[in-house]
Amino acid sequence: MRVKLTWKERIFSLKNVSRTHQQLCLLGVRVELRRKNQYAKLRHGVQDADLRHQLPIEPRKIVLHSCFGAYQCSPKYIVEELRRRGTNCDFVWVVEKNILHHIKSFPDDVRLVMRGTPEAMRELATARIWIENERKLPEVRAGLRKRSGQVYINTWHGSLGIKKTGRQRSGLTRRDRRGLRNDDAQIDYFISNSTYATEFYHEVFYSPKAMIVELGCPRNDLFFLPEAQQVSIRRKVYEALGINPQSRVFLWAPSFREDGNIKMLTLNAASVAAALTSRFGGQWICVVRLHHHTMRGRVVSPLNGWLDASQYADMQELLLSADALVTDYSSCIYDYLLTRRPGLIYAPDQREYALRRGLCYPLTETPFPLAETGEQLVQAICSFDEAAYRGRVEDFLRGKGSIDDGHASQRVADLIESILDGKEVRA
Residue 125 lies in a domain: yes
Looking at the structure, do residues 131 and 245 belong to the same domain, yes or no?
no
Q: What is the pLDDT of residue 159?
A: 84
The domain spanning residue 236 has which CATH number?
Answer: 3.40.50.12580
Q: What count of other Cβ atoms lies within 10 Å of the Cβ of residue 113? A: 20
State whether the Cα torsion 411-417-420-421 is positive or negative: negative
How is 314-339 classified by DSSP, letter by letter?
-HHHHHHH-SEEEESS-THHHHHGGG
Looking at the structure, do residues 53 and 28 belong to the same domain, yes or no?
no
Residue 44 and residue 53: Cα distance in Å, rounded? 10
Residue 320 lies in a domain: yes
Q: What is the pLDDT of residue 53?
A: 57
Looking at the structure, do residues 363 and 258 belong to the same domain, yes or no?
yes
Q: What is the pLDDT of residue 384?
A: 98
Question: Under 8 Å CB-to-CB from 62, ≥6 apart: which residues?
Answer: 82, 89, 90, 91, 92, 127, 128, 129, 130, 131, 416
Residue 381 and residue 362: Cα distance in Å, rounded? 21
Residue 269 lies in a domain: yes
Residues of the chain falling short of pLDDT 70:
1-4, 17-21, 26, 28-53, 100-101, 170, 256-264, 291-304, 424-427
Looking at the structure, do residues 187 and 152 belong to the same domain, yes or no?
yes
Contact 163, 258 (CB under 8 A): no
Looking at the structure, do residues 197 and 97 belong to the same domain, yes or no?
yes
Q: What is the pLDDT of residue 38?
A: 44
Residue 232 lies in a domain: yes
Looking at the structure, do residues 61 and 145 belong to the same domain, yes or no?
yes
Interstrand relation of 284-288 and 307-308 (parallel, antiparallel or unpaired): parallel
Radius of gyration of the chain (CA): 23
Q: How many domains does the chain have?
A: 3
Looking at the structure, do residues 80 and 216 belong to the same domain, yes or no?
yes
Look up the pTM and report it.
0.85
The domain spanning residue 144 has which CATH number?
Answer: 3.40.50.11820
Which residue type occupies 202?
Answer: H
Q: What is the pLDDT of residue 297?
A: 44
Residue 14 structural domain: 7-34
Residue 333 lies in a domain: yes
Which residue type occupies 324?
Answer: A
How is 101-129 classified by DSSP, letter by letter?
GGGGGS-TTEEEEETTSHHHHHHHHTEEE
Contact 132, 152 (CB under 8 A): yes
DSSP 301: P
Looking at the structure, do residues 215 and 233 belong to the same domain, yes or no?
no
Q: What is the pLDDT of residue 394?
A: 98
Looking at the structure, do residues 210 and 259 belong to the same domain, yes or no?
no
Q: What is the pLDDT of residue 179?
A: 86
Residue 426 lies in a domain: no
Looking at the structure, do residues 386 and 414 belong to the same domain, yes or no?
no
Looking at the structure, do residues 283 and 157 belong to the same domain, yes or no?
no
Looking at the structure, do residues 116 and 149 belong to the same domain, yes or no?
yes
Residue 43 lies in a domain: no
